[in-house]
Amino acid sequence: MERFLAGVEPFKHLPLADRQQLAAVSRERRYAKGETIFRTGEPAQAVCIVKEGRVHLMSFLDGGQASTACVMAAGETFCCLPALDGKPYPVDAVAAIDSTVVRIPTTAFQALLSRNPAFLRDSLCLFCDRLRQVEHKSCMIYDSVERRIAQALLALSKKFGATIPLTKHELAELASTTVESAIRTLSQFKKQGIITSTRGSTTIVKPDQLRRLAGS
């Protein structure tokens, strides 16, 4: 566990003794595809890290439509803000595929923040970066579907590389559009030679052209 934490932000820069202390109280748990890790409004009992698999942080609208705020890949720490302010989880966390999640008790995380200013700084920088991503996504709602899909693909490529292992349904939830609109837009991108796709994945072939569509 300590070796795993040594490769994960914001824990990788901790002194060995502090990392060992966190490792001693951390626990791994397996989640099947579609299983909920925590729900909106539940007490924030743990800071979580994806060890294997993929976790989506989601909210659900009154009509039942799902919206994905963030996609968390292996090695990423997620939903840590409640560990800072003591408030409940703000979203649902759902295993998008069979996943292993490391859970660090919030009490242990908060104790380390209070005695290690450098760790507090690193944690705040990580969380602020995540907030910028969410803020950017909230502004995307005013963009065209084409631009939102292009932006989503580019953001995901930073995590997964050129081949993105999300379904069209998952891309629609991330881009805040309907599945039909996502399929239509991806088909358009494919005809233009910007992407190729197979069942459950999309590969970016022309990133420069995709960036132009995304307005970046």
* 86, 113, 139 - which closes a domain: 139
Q: 211, 208, 198, 199: which is closest to 150 by C-alpha? A: 211
In this structure, are residues 106 and 85 in contact, taking their beta carbons and an 8 Å threshold?
no
Query: Per-residue pLDDT for 54 more than 70?
Result: yes
Q: How many domains does the chain have?
A: 2
Give 62: exposed, middle or buried? Use CB within 10 Å, 0-12, 13-18, 19+. Answer: exposed
In this structure, are residues 194 and 146 in contact, taking their beta carbons and an 8 Å threshold?
no
Q: Which H/E stretch holds residue 64? A: none
Tens-digit pLDDT profile for residues 130-151: 777 766 665 566 679 999 999 9
Tens-digit pLDDT profile for residues 84-123: 888 999 999 999 999 999 999 999 999 999 999 999 999 9
* 96, 123, 139 - which closes a domain: 139
Task: Tell whether 165 and 188 lie within a shared domain.
Answer: yes
Give the pLDDT band (50/70/90) at residue 81.
confident
Give 195: exposed, middle or buried? Use CB within 10 Å, 0-12, 13-18, 19+. Answer: buried
Average of per-residue pLDDT across 47-76: 90
The whole-number pLDDT of residue 138 equals 58
CA-CA-CA-CA torsion sign (52, 196, 150, 194):
positive
What is the extent of the structural domain holding 207?
Answer: 144-214
The whole-number pLDDT of residue 99 equals 98
Average of per-residue pLDDT across 81-85: 84
Task: Tell whether 115 and 13 lie within a shared domain.
Answer: yes
User: What's the CATH code of the domain at 105?
Assistant: 2.60.120.10
Tens-digit pLDDT profile for residues 35-46: 999 999 999 999
Task: Tell whether 35 and 125 lie within a shared domain.
Answer: yes
Tell me the residue type at 84: L
Give the pLDDT band (50/70/90) at residue 126.
confident
Q: 209, 130, 164, 54: which is closest to 138 by C-alpha? A: 130
Give the pLDDT band (50/70/90) at residue 129.
confident
Task: Tell whether 76 and 121 lie within a shared domain.
Answer: yes
Alpha-carbon gap, residue 73 to 183, rounded angstroms: 23
The whole-number pLDDT of residue 84 equals 83
Residue corresponding to tokens 């995590």: 159
DSSP symbol at 167? -
Residue 109 has a CB neighbour count (10 Å cut-off) of: 23
* 139, 166, 192 - which closes a domain: 139
